[in-house]
A = this chain, B = another copy of it.
Amino acid sequence: MRQAQKVPTRSPVERRLVIGLNIALTALIGDEPHVLCVKRPGGWGLPFGRFDPDEHRTFELALRDFVERQTSVPLGYVEQLYTFGDRGREAPRASLVMGDEVDRIVSIGYLALSPEAAEPSLESAQWRPWYAFFPWEDRRSQGGPLPLIEERLRAWAGTDSERLDRLAFTQGGDDLPWPEERALDRFEVMYEARLVAEAHRDRDGVEGPELYGEAMISDHRRILATAIGRLRGKMRYRPVIFQVMPDAFTLSDLQSGIEAVLGFRIHKQNFRRGVESAHLVEKTEKTVQQTGGRPAAVYRAGASSGVTTALGLPLPRFKQTAPR
C-alpha cells in the first residue's frame, strides 16, 4: 500500500534516471597491479556502460556484455562494490554543462579480476597502474611518500577530535596497524583535506598547493579506491588472489603479487608457512629459476576448502561446542 501512495511529483520536464555501470578491471602486469582505463574528454576514466533494462536481465550480464564488446577484454571474477548516487558531488560539472534537464545518473561500481592484461581492442582503452592514481597506497618501498602526506593530514585535522579519529581509523599509527583495506576511507580523507584534484574540481577551481595522484573523471577514483580496498580486504578470507595469478607460479611470484595488491612487503619465511598451512596451493614437480639464486618450485592453485577467520574487537568465534 505504501508504494501506491507515493506517486512521484515529477518536475514539468521529465528527468530520467540512468544507471551507469562502472568497472574497475584489475590485472597484474609484472609486479604492478593495473586497472583498465579509458581516455575520455575530461581525463582518464573507468570503462562505463549504461544499463538498459530492456536488453539485460542482470547487471552482471550487462557488464560482461559491454566490456567485452568494447575492449575485447574478457571478465573473470566480478563483484559489485557500491552504488553512488549523490548529486552535487558525483559529477556536478556535467550537470551544469548540460543544463538542469539532464538525466540523473546513478552509477554502480564493480570490481573485476583477470589473470592476464589482455590487449584492449579500443585504442582509447589502456592498462594503467593502480598506484599512479594512489601513490600513497603503495608502501612497498619502505615508508613511501607517506611522511609528507601525513604531515598535511595532521595539519588538516588540527585538534578536531572527530578528524583525529578518522586519521587513526584510516592511517593507523601508534600501535595500530596500517589498515590497507581502507583505501576508500583514505581517499575520502584526502578529498576533504583537499589533497586530491577532484576536491577542487567539484567545489571551486582553486588548485591546492600540492595534489597527490592522478585525477579521474567524475567519481571514478572513488570507485577505484573502493575496488582496491575490497580486493585487499577480501584476500584475507577468500583466495581471490588466484584470480589475478597465472596458472603456474612460484611462491615468490605469489608473494610479490600479494604484496603488490596489499601495498607493502611481508616476511618471506612466515608467508610460506602461512601458505603451507592454508593448503590452497599444490606443488608441481617443475622448478624454475628466474633470479640468480636457487630454483624455485612451481605451484598451482589447488582445489581445497577455504580457511576462514576474522576478528577485531576481541570477539570469539562460534566453535560448534559453546563455552560455558
Contact A320 B49 (CB under 8 A): no
Q: Which residues of B contact A165 (CB under 8 A)?
A: 305-306
Give the distance to chain B from A51, nearest Cβ to Cβ, in Å.
8
Give the distance to chain B from A287, nearest Cβ to Cβ, in Å.
24
Contact A38 B2 (CB under 8 A): yes
Give the distance to chain B from A160, nearest Cβ to Cβ, in Å.
13
A168, A174, A235, A305 interface centre (most CB from chain B within 10 Å): A305
Contact B16 A16 (CB under 8 A): yes
A-to-B contact residues, CB < 8 Å? 1-3, 6, 8-11, 15-19, 38, 40-41, 47-55, 57-59, 66, 70, 80, 82-83, 85-88, 104, 106, 108, 122, 124, 139, 142-143, 161, 165, 168-169, 172-174, 176-181, 233, 235-239, 258, 262-267, 270-271, 273-275, 277-278, 280, 303, 305-320, 322-324
Question: Which one of B10, B82, B237, B270 lies within 8 Å of A54 (CB-CB)?
Answer: B10
Q: With A53-B104, A58-B86, A177-B308 known to touch, is A265 a contact of B323 (CB < 8 Å)? A: yes
Give the distance to chain B from A66, nearest Cβ to Cβ, in Å.
7
Contact B310 A312 (CB under 8 A): yes
Contact B9 A310 (CB under 8 A): no
Closest to A6 in B: B50
Question: Which one of B19, B47, B142, B308 lies within 8 Å of A312 (CB-CB)?
Answer: B308
Question: Which one of B142, B237, B320 lies within 8 Å of A322 (CB-CB)?
Answer: B142
Question: Which one of B17, B303, B305 lies within 8 Å of A17 (CB-CB)?
Answer: B17
Q: Which residues of B contact A263 (CB under 8 A)?
A: 318
Q: With A58-B87, A87-B57, A87-B58 known to touch, is A176 a contact of B235 (CB < 8 Å)? A: no
Closest to A11 in B: B54
Q: With A17-B18, A50-B8 known to touch, is A236 a contact of B310 (CB < 8 Å)? A: yes
Closest to A174 in B: B305
Contact B177 A57 (CB under 8 A): no
Q: Which residues of B contact A86 (CB under 8 A)?
A: 57-59
Contact B88 A57 (CB under 8 A): yes
